[in-house]
Structure 1
Amino acid sequence: MGRRSWLLMVVFLSLAFCLPMSHGLQTYQRQLLLQLKKHLEYPSFLDILESNNGDICNLSPTSHLSISCQDNVVTELRIMGDKLAKVSDFSGFAIPGQTLSETFSIDSFVTTLTRLTSLRVLSLVSLGIWGPLPDKIHRLYSLELLDLRSNFFFGSVPPQLSRLVKLNTLVLDGNYFNGTLPDWLDSLSNLETLCLKDNQFTGQFPSSICRITKLTDIVMSHNQLTGNLPDLSSLTSLLVLDLRENQLESDLPAMPKSLVTLLLSNNSISGKIPDQFGQLSELQHLDLSSNQLNGTPPSSLFSLPNISYLNLASNKMSGSFPEHLHCGSKLGFVDISSNKFSGGLPSCLDSVSDSKREVKFGGNCLSLESENQHKGPYCKEANVEEKKPRSIAVGVLAAGIAGTIIVLGLLAFGMIFFCRRYRTKRTFEQNIISKVVQDNTPVPTGVSSEVLANARFISQTAKLGTQGAPACRVFALEELKDATDNFDTSTFLGEGSSGKVYKGRLENGTYVAIRSLAMLKKHSIQNLKVRLDLVSRLQHPHLVGLLGHCIDGSGQDDFSINKVFLIYEYVPNGNYRAHLSETSPEKALKWSDRLAILIGVAKAVHFLHSGVIPGAFNNKLKTNNILLDEHGIPKLSDYGMSIITGDSEKREAKREAPKSCHRINLEDDVYNFGFILLESLVGPIVTGKGEAFLLNEMASFGSQDGRRKIVDPTVLTTCSQESLSILVSITSKCISPEPSTRPSFEDVLWNLQYAAQVQAMADADQRSDSTSQ
């Protein structure tokens, strides 16, 4: 090293030690983060980087930004944007989201990022980042978690990623990565979670994965993987395997005994279900639907000690079940529909015998007096497959039949689109028997403070949705007055059964909706806070988020509560009813748009009913309470009010049978949702029309002329008759005067999704016809 270099080093070290080390580090890292903000084209949620006197290590985390430090060095960086890579239209398709501009440079962005060399956690989600992931990402050699979900990365996964040997979590979901899966994944020997779903990966499932013995989660659904699955029994820590919606065509391999969730639906997996599956004692959720499986499933599959969900629908399985088939005590849902099962239905699969268990069995050859069982040649063929003798003559005949099937299969290959459509339609037309799942034990809808304090969230969606989310914030009344100019009339948005609503702007510039709620029933402040905290944790993409609350008490005692203010996220684009009222054809919601909104709301209600314990019922479902954001995405408001106000407890006190009350609560939401469906068909219902009048008008849907008179013209001009018929049918069931005949919300959601799929196919056919002309 020359004299000049030595002098430069001495000067540099002298300057460095003249400055406080921590201040120098903070300034340097802050400049890097501001540079990242520039690369990301200055999103407003990163303005917080310029506050707090430049102390980035002590910034309060938000839903968009979280920074953690150790010894004044940034070790965790989480940035969550709002530029979704793929926005579902709820009909099985995804439309592209919003990217950063053409001037964005992925290479410059990652170069800046890699200067934060001590990062252990890096999460960059929904930021609109696009381009191939550069090799230089390996310079972040300390990374333990890398999460790049919902961006626009494309190309192959860079080989240099294999040098991140400390990595235990790799999440690349919702991008456009393509090519085959890398064969070097076993270099990541510490990997526990591997999530690559919703990309465009092709080729086979790499056998190298079987050597990563620490893996607990493998999620690769919604790709284009083909070929065989290897023996996975060596993955002794594996809990979740999700390979849905691929093109896998192997037999089922051996699985590790640790598995809790196994999802392989919508592939081309063939052969029989191995007996080994009946020994997976930890298994809770098994979905093998929509494959090519044959034979009879192992009886032990139904009696696994922890199994709660078992879906074998839409396969080619046949044979009969043992008369005394035993079902596990936790088994709550079974779907064996659209197969070729014959014989009787065992008592443990009979909904009448066990009201806690929902069973779907339509489209088989069971000896039941039911319209949804096949008869004739279809069942004779199934019977032959089950009982054929093992003789050479019959073997030759079987070979001939198989050859014929192959030829027919080749002829049918060119019409696969229509075959899929027929299969879906057939499943729907089987009119599968369903019911509202009831519990034999009394379950009061009134929620005690003890239950609320120990509420257990069982939904994985809820679990993931609350990670990193700030807790329900307590606002001061003065903050709310400042945000609304002392609740000035200019900020008033409206009034409903749950109080007045105002639009406010917080000190940081965030717009919120503030609901003023008068408490008619006395609660202790502590009990009320527990209730509010529970509702704030009900997080779902189609629920208006509760951000915080303010309890206005007189201060005399713990029960002196005058008002409660609920602070929600502000949803700017009005309510669904107003959009149904549009008289301009250009602004009126098309049928496919209405279906998308209905599906979103149905998903939210289904989550409220079954995604959490205790469930939230009586959710004030009406078109006014469905809000639309700037992208037209629906969000349900006014949910969970019965939990906050304690009204459910009041109703419960008037009833002798808690079990009956629980069922009525479920059906109240189904009934009210039926009127939302009705308004989606006919337009806003005029106030004052009685329910009896509306129910009478449903009779008009029975004929084409009647529909033309009552159905909204925008619906008639933008819907397919098949899609419309599905909605008319499910609507009439929801608003049935007899509660016991109303469907479950799961069935409502299924029918809505099927209607959307049918409509999407009709729209695609129409576009194809117009293009060919």
Structure 2
Amino acid sequence: MTSYALFLLLCFPLLFSIPATHQLQTYQTQVLLQLRKHLEYPQAIEVWDNYSGDLCFLPSSPQMTIVCQGNSITELKIMGDKTDKVSTFEGFAIPNLTLSEAFSMDSFVTTLSRLTTLRVLSLVSLGIWGPLSDKIHRLYSLELLDLSSNFLVGSIPPKISALVQLRSLTLDGNFFSDSVPNWFDSLSNLSILSLNGNQLKGPFPSSICRIKTLTSLALSHNHVSGKLPDMGSLTDLRMLDLRENRLTSEIPRLPKGLVTVLLSSNSFSGEIPQQFGELDQLQHLNLSFNYLTGTPPAAIFSLPNISYLNLSFNKLTGSLPSHLSCSAELGVIDISNNRLTGGLPTCLSSQSDKRVVMFGGNCLSVDPQHQHPESYCKEIHMMDKESGGMSIGVLIGVIGGAVTVVILLAFGFLILSRRYCPRGTSERHLTRKAVPDRAPTGYSSELLANARLVSEAAKLGTQGVPTYRVFSLEELNEATNNFDQSTFMGEGSMGKLFKGWLENGTFVAIRCLTLSKRFPIRNLKLRLDLIGKLRHPHLVCLLGHCIDGVGQDDCSVNKVFLIYEYVANGNLRTHLSEDSPGKVLKWSERLAVLIGVAKAVHFLHTGIIPGLFNNRLKTNNVLLDEHQIAKLSDYGLSIITDEIIKLEVKGEGQKLQRKKLEDDVYSFGFILLEALVGPSVSGRGEAFLLNEMASFGSQDGRKRIVDPVVLTTCSEESLSIVISITKKCISPESSSRPSFEDVLWNLQYASQVQATADGDQRSDATSQTSISQQN
């Protein structure tokens, strides 16, 4: 055989193999392009349009990753951006929530299943909606599946149990509403199971306790109910998150290797297990907002790695031992709002730069200003024991009697309303009230408005708050006497404000917004629903809205009225100046107000999705109720008016100015500054205050610029903490500014330091009085 013939013989197979390889790459590329079409061309993968090479070699980014082995795609990650599918609006992205009605879940998963070599699949925040197709099991090589922050409904497909290679399953932030599946033990390699933020119900599945490989289990913000089983067999479990469910049992035995345990906002009862004192790896324990009783085990305070311990809002009783030992790692302890008595142990009462202790709302013998008398806790405890011992028969009788009374009252009310409010007297008025919201076909307005919006924690402290509703223009005219000048309360950049009086006797504040451009009515209602669902103890409650000025096509609007609860005690600015009629706040009272505002803004940033920013923070928008509780007003208005962001950005200076306007931390820094120096000094302008910041560094400078009321009522350490965090907040470099979580932590610490100083001062005064009387 000649050398040439031998060469042809060796090369002949390679010639046939080249087209086959090319076809395989083209096939995978076609699948990816079809997926892009199904997802309606999200911005995260726009880079595919301008890339002429093999997609396997496309550079990865936080929004998109493709990994290949050989000629097969093994990893596909796409992260939707909040600016992908938005209503036409500058500056703040309001998602259109879901893909269009043309989207087909079954077709999408069918196309996806052609990538059978996928081991990692992550499709997050892409607006995917509908029941998850059981064809997902065709991706038999999957080891990681993440479909969080979409709109998946119904049940979790049982055929997922066939994905035996699966190590991580994340379906957070969807709308799954069936029972939690009881087949998870089929996934024998599963390490991470996360189903947070759905509407899953039913009992906690016992099958989960048979997954020996499980390291992280998260089922928070669901409706899981009943008993939590013994979980001691999960020896590899490190993180357990069951917050905000409806679990009603005693807390069972937990694995000793746990690092994080989050069981807050359930209905757990009984005592905290003594076994918790053996969880040597535990760093973060939150048992707040339950019905736990007894005295907390002393051992949990001295666990070697514990850094965060929250036992607040339970029914804990008894006294903590005076010789209680606290771990050196323990930085935050919250035992507030229980029924604890006696003294505060030394390790919880001593001042430390590294430890914050919250203990208000008990019956402790320290800090009487924030404690109940000991008799109160004893009486409440006895009432609980008596009610707990009530027989079932008596309980049923009481409930039955109450129901009967309610029915009779309702019947009587119906008769009176028919007699005194006959139908037909105001048909036009009733018709306008009854106009329904127009939601996209296939989705109720409730589903769209509640889309991963409000943390269940926001319900705290809002019992009795009216639900959000639509008002008619006639109602508002009646409430304000046709917006008479006598009801006018003021005007600012966000429109005029009027005081109104509803038929039920409730006072309200009505803000009239004239929008600078016309919005489609559906988009406006979505934005109003975003704000209207928010409930927080430190937010002025938005009670409803009224849309006016709708065009002839009923699809655009340029005027809206916002109806808020009326807060009668003025704003923070009026309580900082002796020239104003409001009571001037002492330093400890100012700290309480600042902490309330910080909690509200932290909730707006992190407690809802998407977070609300650009909240127009200033002292005039911080209102105080009759109990001096701070309530933030005019929050979130940046999403229904583009006034804030109408800036021509030219040059670095104006870019910086825009950055400041959009930064709530920066704005809050000036609220802190005004609380320090008073409105008379802060009124001299931003530039003056920034130049004067250096004065805080010396005692003479502080005496010159700090409000005298602050200087005479503050401790030096508490003041220094707030000055330090204020400087960081108004730093010209946004990267140097702290998070709101850091701001809140520092303010709470400053408040605790001040409370300790006030207590010491009262003790000294009492001692001096006693000595004088003896002399």
Q: For this structure pair, what is the TM-score category when the shorter chain's length is used for normalisation?
A: 0.5 to 0.7
Cα 1:305–1:751 change in 2 (3 A) is closer
State the partner residue of 1:165. 164
| CA pair 379-403 structure 1, distance change in 2 beyond 3 A | farther
Any conservation in 1 of the 2:227–2:247 contact (CA below 8 Å)?
yes
2 CA distance for matches of 1:398 and 1:115? 60
CA-CA distance at 1:19 after TM superposition: 4.5
Is the CA contact 1:85–1:128 (under 8 Å) kept in the aligned structure 2?
A: no
2:340 equivalent to 1:341: yes
How many Å separate the matches in 2 of 1:334 and 1:138? 45
Kindly indicate whether the alpha-carbon contact (under 8 Å) linking 2:218 and 2:240 is maintained by their aligned counterparts in 1.
yes
2:43, 2:81 within 8 Å by CA — same for their partners in 1?
A: no
Distance (whole Å) between structure 2 residues aligned to residue 408 and residue 341 of structure 1: 31
- Please list, as runs of the form range in 1=range in 2, the aligned pairs for 1:312-351 lying within 5 A after superposition: 312-351=311-350
Distance apart, 1:370 and its partner CA: 1.8
- How many angstroms does 1:17 deviate by? 3.9
Match of 1:740 among 709, 714, 718: 718
Q: Deviation string for 1:203-258 (max 9, x for gaps)? A: 11101000101111001100011000000000000000000011111100000001
Distance 2:606 2:134 in 1: 43
How far the C-alpha of 1:379 sits from its partner, in A, is: 2.4
Distance in structure 1 (CA, Å) of the matches to 2:337 and 2:743:
19
| Secondary structure, counterpart of 2:81 in structure 1 | strand
What does 1:242-281 correspond to in 2, within 5 Å?
A: 242-281=241-280
**For the residues of structure 2 that align with 1:179 and 1:134, how far apart are their CA atoms?**
15
Q: Tell me the distance in 2 between the aligned counterparts of 1:180 and 1:208.
A: 13
Corresponding residue number in structure 1 for 2:294: 295
In structure 2, relative to structure 1, the CA distance for the partners of 1:274 and 1:598 (3 Å cut) is closer
Rounded to whole Å, the distance in 1 between the matches of 2:356 and 2:394 is: 38
* Inter-partner Cα distance in structure 2 for 1:313 and 1:86: 41
Maintained 8 Å contact 1:239/1:260: yes
Identical positions, percent = 51
Counterparts of 1:204 and 1:271, CA distance in 2: 19
**2:341 and 2:396 mapped to 1: Cα distance?**
25
**Partners of 1:182 and 1:322 in 2: CA distance:** 44
Query: Taking structure 1 as reference, are residues 86 and 258 closer, same or farther at Cα in structure 2, changes over 3 Å only?
Result: farther
* Match in the other structure for 1:440: none
Deviation at 1:83, TM superposition (A): 5.1
**Which residue of the partner structure matches residue 361 of structure 2?**
363
Match runs of 1:140-289 below 5 Å: 140-289=139-288
Aligned pairs (5 A) from 1:497-512: none
Which string of whole-angstrom CA distances, capped at 9 and with x for unpartnered residues, describes residues 307-361 of structure 1? 1100000000100111211111111111000000011111011143x44211111
Q: Secondary structure at the match of 2:253?
A: coil
Amino acid at match of 1:399: G
Number of the residue aligned with 1:399:
389
- Secondary structure at 2:153 match in 1: strand
Cα drift, residue 43 of structure 1 = 2.3
Matched residue type, 1:687: G
Where structure 2 has 5 or more consecutive residues not aligned to the other structure, the ranges are: 1-12, 87-93, 407-456, 464-556, 566-570, 572-593, 608-616, 620-634, 646-664, 693-708, 726-739, 749-775
Give 1:424's match in structure 2, choosing from 461, 474, 478: 461
Q: Which amino acid aligns with 1:31?
A: Q
* TM-aligned CA deviation for residue 369 of structure 1: 4.4
Contact 1:351 1:357 (8 Å CA) reproduced:
no
Q: Distance in 1 between matches of 2:561 and 2:217?
A: 43
Cα distance, 1:318–1:632 mapped onto 2, change above 3 Å = farther
SS at match of 2:142: coil
Instruction: Say if 1:101 and 1:312 are closer, same or farther in 2 by CA, change over 3 A.
Output: same
Q: How big is the shift at 1:32? A: 0.7
Cα displacement string for residues 713-744 of structure 1 (whole angstroms, at most 9, x for unaligned residues): xxxxxxxxxxxxxxxxxx999x9896615768
CA contact (8 A) 1:271 1:295 kept: yes
Look up the equivalent residue of 2:718 and give its one-letter code.
S
Q: Cα gap change, 1:49/1:689 in structure 2, threshold over 3 Å: closer, same or farther? A: closer
Cα distance, 1:40 vs. partner?
A: 1.0
Post-superposition offset of 1:668: 11
Tell me the distance in 2 between the aligned counterparts of 1:22 and 1:332.
59
User: 2:339 is matched by which residue type in structure 1?
Assistant: K
Contact 2:341–2:374 (CA under 8 A) maintained in structure 1: no
1:81 aligns with 2:80: yes
**Matched residue type, 1:381:** E
1:414-468 deviation line (CA, Å, top 9, x unaligned): 99xxxx9998389xxxxxxxxxxxxxxxxxxxxxxxxxxxxxxxxxxxxxxxxxx
Per the TM alignment, residue 52 of structure 1 is displaced from its structure 2 partner at its CA by 3.4
Answer yes or no: is the 8 Å Cα contact 1:147–1:171 preserved in 2: yes
Pair 1:63–1:631, CA change in 2 (3 A) = farther
Structure 1 residue 367 displacement after superposition: 1.4
Aligned partner letter, 2:238: L
Q: 1:65 is matched by which residue type in structure 2?
A: M
Q: Name the CA distance, whole Å, in 1 between partners of 2:314 and 2:228.
A: 19
- When residues 344 and 423 of structure 1 are mapped into structure 2, their CA distance, relative to the original with a 3 A threshold, is farther
Do the aligned residues in 1 keep the contact of 2:316 with 2:339 (CA within 8 Å)?
Answer: yes
Residue 137 of structure 2: aligned partner? 138
Q: Secondary structure of 1:119's match? A: coil
Preserved CA contact (<8 Å) 1:599 1:752:
no
2:105 match? 106
| Match in the other structure for 2:28 | 29
2:685 match: 687
Cα deviation, residue 82, structure 1 = 2.3
Unaligned runs of 5+ in 1: 1-13, 88-94, 387-394, 427-583, 608-620, 636-666, 695-730, 754-773
Aligned residues: CA RMSD? 5.1
Cα drift, residue 98 of structure 1: 1.0
Q: Distance in 1 between matches of 2:127 and 2:290?
A: 35
Q: Secondary structure at the match of 1:20?
A: helix
The separation in 1 between residues aligned to 2:344 and 2:356, in whole angstroms, is 14
Distance change >3 Å, CA 85–CA 178, structure 1 → 2: farther
8 A Cα contact 1:166 1:188, kept in partner: yes
Distance 1:425 1:351 in 2: 34
Is contact 1:84-1:128 (8 Å) kept?
Answer: no
Deviations, residues 108-142 of structure 1 (Å, cap 9, x unaligned): 11110000110000000111000100111000000
Whether the 8 Å CA contact 2:249–2:267 is kept in 1: the answer is: yes
* Counterpart AA for 2:160: L
